[in-house]
Amino acid sequence: MQPIDTLLCARWIVPIEPRDTVLENHAVAIADGRIVALLPRAEAETRYQPHTTIDLGQHALLPGLVNAHTHAALTLLRGLADDLPLMRWLQEHIWPAEQRWVSEEFVRDGTRHAVAEMLRSGTTCFNDMYFFPDITARTASAAGIRSVVGLIAIDFPTVWAADADEYLDKGLAVHDEFRHDTLVRTAFAPHAPYTVSDGPLERIRVLADELDIPIHMHVHETAHEVAEAVEKHGERPLARLARLGLLSPSLLAVHMTQLDDDEIDQVADAGVRVVHCPESNLKLASGFCPVSRLQAAGVTVALGTDGAASNNDLDMFGELRSAALLAKAVSADASALPAVRALEMATLDGARALGWDDDIGSLRPGKAADLVAVRLDGIETEPLYHPLSQIVYALDRGRVSDVWVAGQHQLRDRRLTTLDEEEILASTRRWSERIGASDAAAGVE
């Protein structure tokens, strides 16, 4: 018998590849942080000698979810300013709060809380855009979750950097610091077309090509953004990005709620990847990403939660359900985004968007052992006719029982193994008291 580290046995396994596959009474064999095999349980028990065997009973095992766009540290501003349109929310509330509070300590504590929430929600990899990306990377790596940290760039000075050159120089230093960390990757993260001028974008394009890393950017988030760009520059943001040479497979264009047919074709031809954040877009009344039209054109569409300040959670199971339902309503077609495709968006398409699909996003021998176990027994999820559909339409994140990243058991029976939940909550409550008191003193409603 072949020695292995872990044998995970479950009633159902959803490997994502091949598409629309559900394996019954199978097992996943894991060694050295990677998947060795998926095979019937009876066969696994005769072939392998595991150090640890875990019988998950009436659970489904699936790849860890990939949150393709968030601002982890903004978890500390969850609920600070709700029920407002994007620009008023940003200009009158979020940006002023950031100017007052953002620091290394803020980013560390906010990221720790976000990582705890994401792991408890079945997310094993997140793509972040925020200040102090070095702190985000260290915090995430120490907790045992994968991250793509954004090398932020924006035209105006912040606590992180004073000008475009400093943003990019600091970003390059972060890239160098984590280039050998197996849990951390980097992406350039110019905030948006309306906050980053041509010069820095041109430099980012050259650097991204040299380093072979993605460019992560908010694009066409609202009708106001597009109209203002036309008024000021005489062209839509996507046209400007095309002129600057940024439309390519390296670009992760987040939100994309304002697209005409020609732009969809242009995005598809260029190989741009799109990140859809349905709940944030709904809450801020930003618009609807044309997911089914993009997918029909061959565009990879991943899913993200956005930050907890605009969502207000980091729940990817909720996000994939919202995406499936919203796509049906927007297209007036109940088959527009079936459950199998929604789940793929939250796993393999997220990995593809980040350029990490060689390692994560599906359960295949040789890939990293990033898995999530969800309970499908009980009042909320029975009767059960089609496990895959049940995961998308009936499951909530409270049914996540266990999570593994690179074979390490990061959530065991709903308890985090690398993070102290009580310590995190105590820290968050201290921040809440300080931020809330300041907000009230400023007269913010």
pLDDT class of 195 with cuts at 50, 70, 90: very high
The more confident residue out of 87 and 438 is: 87
- Residue 128: which residues within 8 A CB-CB, separation 6 or more? 70, 71, 72, 111, 136, 140, 147, 148, 149, 150
Write the CA distances from 333 to 191, 275, 308, 359, 390, integer angstroms.
Answer: 34, 21, 30, 34, 20
Q: Topology of 2-63+367-416 in CATH? A: Urease, subunit C; domain 1 (2.30.40)
pLDDT given for residue 89 in this prediction? 86
Q: Topology of 65-353 in CATH? A: TIM Barrel (3.20.20)
Write the CA distances from 60 to 11, 13, 64, 392, 396, integer angstroms.
Answer: 6, 5, 12, 12, 13
- Whether residue 342 contacts residue 357, with contact meaning beta carbons closer than 8 Å, is answered with no
For residue 312, what are its two tokens?
């207000």
Q: Does the pLDDT of residue 322 top 70, yes or no? A: yes
- Which of 276, 248, 229, 239 has its CA nearest to residue 188? 248
pLDDT class of 443 with cuts at 50, 70, 90: low
| Residue bearing tokens 């994401």 | 118
pLDDT class of 3 with cuts at 50, 70, 90: very high
- Whether residue 30 contacts residue 7, with contact meaning beta carbons closer than 8 Å, is answered with yes
Q: Does the pLDDT of residue 445 top 50, yes or no? A: no
pLDDT digits (tens, 9 = 90+) for 63-86: 999 999 999 999 999 999 899 888
Average pLDDT, integer, range 148-153: 98
pLDDT class of 439 with cuts at 50, 70, 90: low
Average pLDDT, integer, range 351-375: 98
Instruction: Quote the DSSP letter at residue 368.
Output: B
Q: Does the pLDDT of residue 442 top 80, yes or no? A: no
The C-alpha atoms of residue 310 and residue 277 are separated, in whole angstroms, by 10
- Whether residue 342 contacts residue 14, with contact meaning beta carbons closer than 8 Å, is answered with no
Q: Where are the domains of the chain?
A: 2-63+367-416, 65-353
pLDDT digits (tens, 9 = 90+) for 236-268: 999 999 999 999 999 999 999 999 999 999 999
pLDDT given for residue 387 in this prediction? 96
- Residue 425: which residues within 8 A CB-CB, separation 6 or more? none
* Rounded percentage of the chain residues whose pLDDT exceeds 90: 93
For residue 393, what are its two tokens?
């339409």
Q: Does the pLDDT of residue 424 top 60, yes or no? A: yes
Beta-bridge partners for 54: 8
At residue 403, φ and ψ (nearest 5 deg) are -140, 135
pLDDT class of 129 with cuts at 50, 70, 90: very high
For residue 100, what are its two tokens?
């007052």
At residue 291, φ and ψ (nearest 5 deg) are -60, -50
Instruction: Provide the mean pLDDT of the chain.
Output: 96
Average pLDDT, integer, range 117-128: 98
The C-alpha atoms of residue 428 and residue 422 are separated, in whole angstroms, by 10
The C-alpha atoms of residue 206 and residue 200 are separated, in whole angstroms, by 10
Q: Does the pLDDT of residue 91 top 60, yes or no? A: yes
pLDDT given for residue 444 in this prediction? 44
Q: What is the pTM of this model?
A: 0.97
Q: Does the pLDDT of residue 121 top 60, yes or no? A: yes
pLDDT digits (tens, 9 = 90+) for 369-394: 999 999 999 999 999 999 999 999 99
- Whether residue 35 contacts residue 365, with contact meaning beta carbons closer than 8 Å, is answered with yes
Burial of 49 (0-12, 13-18, 19+ CB in 10 A): exposed
The C-alpha atoms of residue 357 and residue 354 are separated, in whole angstroms, by 8
Angle CA 108–111–112, to nearest 5 = 85
The C-alpha atoms of residue 415 and residue 119 are separated, in whole angstroms, by 10
